[in-house]
Chains A and B, each alone.
Chain A
Amino acid sequence: MLGLEHYLILSAILFSIGLYGVLSKRNAIIILMCIELMLNAVNITLVAFSRYVVPALLTGQVFAIFVIVVAATEAAVGLAIILAIYRGLEDIDVTKINLLKW
């Protein structure tokens, strides 16, 4: 029988994989992809709580829709920033992007 814990553990694993990628990768596009992975894990959590704790209210699904909206805008703006940086520096290695470092 499937329970709430199955979905929560799955989303915790996905979130940890995304966190590891964000902290340890150099390529800025890979980092953005890992952020999308983490947002997906949070969405699974929200929908699982909505299904198992308040099945008639659907509050978690409404929140998941807003998270998807924010994720889409974040991907668009983030990739535009990456393209702008690439045009200037010919590189998107985040360890070499240190223009603001004093």
Chain B
Amino acid sequence: MGLVISFWILAAICILAALGVIFLRNVFRAALSLILCFLMVAGLYITLSADFLAAVQILVYVGAISVLIILAIMMTREVQRGSPSNRLQIPAFIVAILLLEVLVLTLLKTPWQIATTPPLAPTTTALATRLFGEGGFILPVEIAAVLILSAILGAIVLAREK
């Protein structure tokens, strides 16, 4: 019962914060609203019993990506100008509503095969076994490391003063 109540509270705040990212005039306030949305998503991971992912969400999104976004806002003087819409506002709205309708209708009509077994309680050990163990995801982990290295180098090269 507590899980249901917390899900509805988290979902409501999450959607409101996401709407705030779109509709707030001030870019800095939109970034703060995005951070609130990230926090609520971390809470949703906890209701899905994904404790390690909730911690990763808070560390990476709330900690790192939001700092990057706020730093970019500070360095580009876009706060005064606000976040205006372009000419595609009404077509974009129609496309988004149509996509939402198609997605919701499809996922309500699909007979999902729900498993009856309870979820794993602490997921950290199981995730480490899946990532690094036999027959796991060790090659994607190495590729992700290379990807991060190249992204660091690319960001430094792009953002450096000439």
Which chain A residues have a beta carbon within 8 Å of chain B's beta carbons? 1-10, 12-21, 23-27, 29-30, 32-34, 36-37, 40, 43-44, 47-48, 50-59, 61-62, 64-66, 68-77, 79-84, 86-87, 92, 94-95
**Proximity bits, B65-103, A CB within 8 Å = 1, else 0:** 100110111011010010111101101110111011001
Q: Are A34 and B64 in contact (CB under 8 A)?
A: no
Q: Are B92 and A27 in contact (CB under 8 A)?
A: no
Q: Are A70 and B73 in contact (CB under 8 A)?
A: no
Q: CA–CA, A66 to B147, complex, Å? A: 11
* A–B complex contacts, Cβ < 8 Å, 16 sampled: A10-B11, A12-B107, A15-B103, A17-B19, A19-B96, A20-B22, A25-B84, A33-B21, A37-B34, A50-B50, A58-B126, A61-B50, A61-B52, A62-B137, A68-B57, A71-B60
Q: Are B4 and A21 in contact (CB under 8 A)?
A: no
Min CB–CB distance B9 → chain A (angstroms): 12
Please indicate which of the listed interface residues B18, B56, B148 has the most CB atoms of chain A within 10 Å of its own CB: B18
Min CB–CB distance B144 → chain A (angstroms): 5
Min CB–CB distance A17 → chain B (angstroms): 5
Other A-B pairs beyond A13-B100, A37-B37, A76-B68, 17, CB < 8 Å? A5-B107, A12-B107, A19-B92, A26-B83, A27-B81, A29-B27, A29-B31, A29-B76, A32-B69, A33-B21, A33-B34, A33-B69, A34-B22, A58-B123, A62-B130, A69-B148, A75-B69
Across-interface contacts of B45 in A (CB, < 8 A) = 44, 47
Main secondary structure, interface of B, reads: helix
Please indicate which of the listed interface residues A5, A24, A72, A77 has the most CB atoms of chain B within 10 Å of its own CB: A24
Known contacts A8-B107, A21-B22; decide if A44 and B41 are in contact (CB<8 Å). Answer: yes
The interface on chain B, measured as residues whose beta carbon lies within 8 A of the other chain's beta carbons, has a size of 84
Which chain B residues have a beta carbon within 8 Å of chain A's beta carbons? 3-4, 7, 11, 14-15, 18-19, 21-22, 27, 30-31, 34, 37-38, 41, 44-45, 47-50, 52-53, 56-57, 60-61, 64-65, 68-69, 71-73, 75-76, 78, 81, 83-86, 88-89, 91-93, 95-97, 99-100, 103-104, 107-108, 112-115, 117-120, 123, 126-127, 130-131, 137, 140, 144, 147-148, 151-152, 154-156, 158-159, 161
Q: Are A9 and B83 in contact (CB under 8 A)?
A: no
Q: Are A13 and B154 in contact (CB under 8 A)?
A: no
Q: CA–CA, A77 to B159, complex, Å? A: 9
Q: Are A26 and B27 in contact (CB under 8 A)?
A: no
